[in-house]
Amino acid sequence: MLQAAINDQGQVSPELRSVFVDVSEHCTLPPLPQVAARALVLVQNPETDFAEMADVIEKDPALAARVLRMASSAFYVRTSPPNTLQDAVRAVGMSGLRDIIVAAALKPAFDLDDRFHRQLWDHSLATAVAADTVARTTGASRGGVAFVCGLLHDAGRLVHHLTNPKAFDELHMAERDEPSMDEREYFGASHDVVASCLAWKWGLDPRISNALIAHHGEPGQNPGLPAHLILGDRIARAIQGDPDEERALSANFLAADLDADPATVVAEVEKNLAENRAFFE
Ligand SMILES: [Fe+2]
Ligand SMILES: [Fe+2]
């Protein structure tokens, strides 16, 4: 059983460790840029102050510009737009920063002129917003890691494509978002496990790795963060035109797993996606 195999200290079970070693050897994992790595360590440390964070982010001008843009948006501006990067960092807050940093670190691995990459990026962003919306609707406090889980949940599919685009295309994997024998045979591990490995390699919160590995499970059997991700993935697929998920949504299948009215949640996701997309593009 690979589920929840990473403990709170980030220690991986021996079984999963050997799978991760295999993944690292067989797959092309996108690297975590140095500034992002440093910034993520700071974000995860409750002692970090905003000045320290601003000092690190400043070293990556593209990342700094993104933080400033986000902090200047109507979503964050309370009285007047921030004048300095430190003000911007304070306005966005540590969880907002984590979302931007992970998105900025992941984005360069996508070739947005490639149809599959473009679709996967759009799907990842929609899942991030949907998982975050579900988490908040079900009473989780703001600032959790659901958004990052959504961004990364199908990163294993990107890794598979980057590793061997020919096999990926020949096996029609672009059309199949399910962990499969083909994935295991050609890439050493299915995409849920590869995504979990990537999050672990990047030193992210162990809860993220554990949720990613469960993202094709049933919400009722994976309570908390994994369930928020699973539901976020389904909602994203439905609003992006997956006929199976659309049918499922219209049958109100979400109602059993959500503490809120499904139609309201979906409308909230669509609104949040429209408002947030620009920050991460
Ligand atoms: Fe998936
Ligand atoms: Fe997905």
Q: What is the DSSP string of 137-185?
A: HTTPPTT-SHHHHHHHTTHHHHHHHHH-HHHHHHTTGGG--S--HHHHH
Confidence of residue 245 (pLDDT cuts 50, 70, 90): low
Full-prediction pTM beyond 0.95?
A: no
Ligand that lies nearest to the alpha carbon of residue 212, given by its number in the listed order: 1
Least confident of 175-179, 239-243, 250-254: 250-254
Q: Which domain holds residue 73?
A: 32-109
Domain count across the chain: 1
Between residues 194 and 8, the one the model is more confident about = 194
Considering the domain boundaries, does residue 191 fall inside one? no
pLDDT at 1 exceeding the cut of 50: no
Q: Mean pLDDT, to the nearest integer, of 2-26?
A: 82
- What residues sit around ligand 1, an ion, with C-beta below 5 angstroms? 154, 177
Q: Is the residue at 37 inside a domain?
A: yes
State how far the Cα of 124 lies from the Cα of 206, in Å rounded to an integer.
20
**Ligand 2 centre and the CA of 88: distance in Å?**
31
Q: Is residue 71 part of a domain?
A: yes
> Which has more pLDDT, 255 or 157?
157
Report the pLDDT averaged over residues 85-106. Answer: 91
| 277 assigned to some structural domain | no
Ligand nearest to the CA of 195: 1
Report CA(105)–ligand 2 centroid distance (Å).
Answer: 19
The ligand whose atoms approach the alpha carbon of 150 most closely is 2
- The whole-number average pLDDT for the span 87-92 is 91
**Residue 56 confidence class, pLDDT cut points 50, 70, 90:** very high
Residue 95 in domain: yes
- In angstroms, what is the span from residue 68 Cα to ligand 1's centroid? 32
Ligand at shortest distance from the CA of 179: 1
Please indicate, yes or no, if residue 92 is contained in any of the structural domains. yes
**Which residues make Cβ contacts (< 8 Å) with residue 146, sequence separation at least 6?**
128, 131, 132, 134, 135, 140, 225, 228, 229, 232
